[in-house]
Amino acid sequence: MAVYSISQLLSSSSYRFKNPGFLLALRRPITSASAENYWNLLQKHGSDSNLERTLGKIRAKLDSSCVEQVLRRCSVNRSLLGLRFFIWADQQPDYKHSTWMYGKAYKLVEIDRMPQYLNDILETYRIEGCLVSIKTFKVILNLCREAKLAEEALGVLRKMAEFDCRPDTTSYNVVIRLFSEKGDMDLAMGLMKEMALIDLYPDMITYVSLIKGFCNVGRFEDAFSLFEVMRGHGCFPNVVAYSALLDGVCKSGSLERALELLGEMEKEGDIPTPNVVTYTSVIQSFCENGRSNEALNILDRMGAHGCPPNRITISTLIKGLCVEGRVVEAYKLIDKVIVDGSVSSGGCYSSFVVCLLWIKNMEEAEKLFRRMLASGVKPEGLACNSLIKEICLEGRALDGFGLYCELEKVECLSSVDTHIYSILLVGLFQQGHLLEASKLASVMVRRGIPLKAPYVDSIIDHLKKSGEKELVSRLKKIGE
């Protein structure tokens, strides 16, 4: 496969002007002065063999926003240059890429569509005699991880020796995880055995990846056998490893086997005791299979073993009961956990409102929400936004506005998302409630809440027809 140098990419004018996005990208403003400095340098010295050394001379601030802006500029037709900048940035002492940044980068550089860039960048380093360290390879492997490129990650791992770099456990873990997620467990296990040949030892991350992989392909005995292998290597299984196994068994539908394993964990001994994540995983599996009675029994087991439930545990149970039409029992469950003090009343009832909306029980959801407000229980954002939106979709924007006013009285408007204002406002206009619509628009101006697509044009038209030209002008300024 041909390898394109940085200078070739920079001089590819035929591609540049065939791509209509190029001129748009040039006109796109870069707000960061640091990004502007790096971008200008890349344009001027992108073909230099000592590019990294030149980049290091810039005293500009390097952060995720800056890196993203530079990558966006490079994404038009200079992806290899952007990749080179990205790899360099992570090796600077005051900056490290986050997982979020890796997720953005692989899409902007289009690694998933053009995986040959990974080989191209390494070949460019070789040709130009650049210093390549294990840090360089780890950045590339992490990009493979985000793009789910298992074969390419293995190729990168194999190339490390060509640059006199010795893989470490972290490098192997990335590749083992990718093949485990892909379901190629024989290759994943082969890589773990290969580690021993170069005096590397698997860690808990290695084993958990393999356990999840074996469970995903239904090879539970192989997953169980890994625990003995772990002990043999002096890596004693912890609750994370057992939880991964239990989660895999649950997802396979083997709920009775899951209960047996949970029971083994609950016994005192060498096996770690289950935590709230472990129990919640089992509860979720029973609820998803329409067995909420058994899920409630597991909640009791949690209490007996001194493991209080969290918000996710209770939300899972509430949803399971609602799906089975057991609304009364959901109320009883909430009363019980509120008395225990493990989860707040606002959190429980807000989850209940959302679950009732999810099963289309609008009447009960609205009744519960109003009881919360009357009793001084503040609803959470998701419950507020979901209910007002559903009321508007039913053509009851005036009722939605009334609910909004009730939230204002209890000082709960911070829970209302900005897009709900636009949904509510357009509904009020369409249903002829002009006075309430003008009041809401005035509130939006006062609080600096912008109009949201796709309602902008409709709202502006209604405001103009109502003679509210001043409001139109001020709302437009907020959105600028």
Write down the domain spans for the chain: 1-166, 418-480
Instruction: Output 168 or 248, whichever has higher pLDDT.
Output: 168
- Going by pLDDT thresholds of 50, 70 and 90, the confidence category of residue 315 is very high
Residue/partner pairs of 151-155 with CB below 8 Å, 24 or more apart:
152/115, 152/118, 153/178, 154/179, 154/187, 154/191, 155/118, 155/119
Q: Give me the pLDDT at residue 464, please.
A: 87
Q: What is the mean pLDDT of residues 122-137?
A: 93
- With 80 as the cut, is the pLDDT of residue 355 above it? yes
- With 70 as the cut, is the pLDDT of residue 282 above it? yes
Name which of 326, 322, 352, 325 is nearest 337 in CA terms: 352
**Among 68-77, 144-153, 171-180, 385-394, which is the least confidently predicted range?**
68-77
- Going by pLDDT thresholds of 50, 70 and 90, the confidence category of residue 28 is very low
CB of 73 closer than 8 Å to CB of 37? no
pLDDT tens digits for range 429-445: 999 999 999 999 999 99
Per-residue exposure over 428-449, b if at least 16 CB sit within 10 Å of its own CB, e if not: bbeeebbebbbebbeebbeeeb
- With 50 as the cut, is the pLDDT of residue 331 above it? yes
Residue/partner pairs of 134-139 with CB below 8 Å, 24 or more apart:
134/160, 134/165, 134/166, 134/167, 134/168, 134/171, 135/90, 135/91, 136/87, 136/91, 136/165, 137/163, 137/165, 137/167, 137/171, 138/170, 138/171, 138/174, 139/86, 139/87, 139/90, 139/91, 139/97
SS (H, E, C) 360-415: CCHHHHHHHHHHHHHCCCCCCHHHHHHHHHHHHHCCCHHHHHHHHHHHHHCCCHHH
pLDDT tens digits for range 405-435: 999 998 888 889 999 999 999 999 999 999 9
Per-residue exposure over 88-101, b if at least 16 CB sit within 10 Å of its own CB, e if not: bbbbeeeeebeeeb
What does the alpha-carbon distance between residue 197 and residue 39 come to, in Å, rounded to a whole number? 44
Q: Give me the pLDDT at residue 23, please.
A: 36
- Report pTM: 0.73
Using a pLDDT cut of 90, give the percent of the chain over it.
Answer: 65
Name which of 191, 182, 242, 193 is nearest 216 in CA terms: 182
DSSP state of 267: S
Mean pLDDT of the chain: 88
What does the alpha-carbon distance between residue 449 and residue 254 come to, in Å, rounded to a whole number? 50
- Going by pLDDT thresholds of 50, 70 and 90, the confidence category of residue 341 is confident
Task: Please state the separation of Cα 248 from the chain's center in Å.
Answer: 21
Q: What angle do CA 307, 308, 314 make, to 5 degrees?
A: 130
Using a pLDDT cut of 70, give the percent of the chain over it.
Answer: 93
pLDDT tens digits for range 447-462: 999 989 898 889 889 8
Per-residue exposure over 266-298, b if at least 16 CB sit within 10 Å of its own CB, e if not: beeeebbebeeebbbbbbbbbbbeeebeebbeb
Instruction: Output 7 or 297, whichever has higher pLDDT.
Output: 297
- With 60 as the cut, is the pLDDT of residue 18 above it? no
- Going by pLDDT thresholds of 50, 70 and 90, the confidence category of residue 47 is confident
Q: Give me the pLDDT at residue 16, please.
A: 37
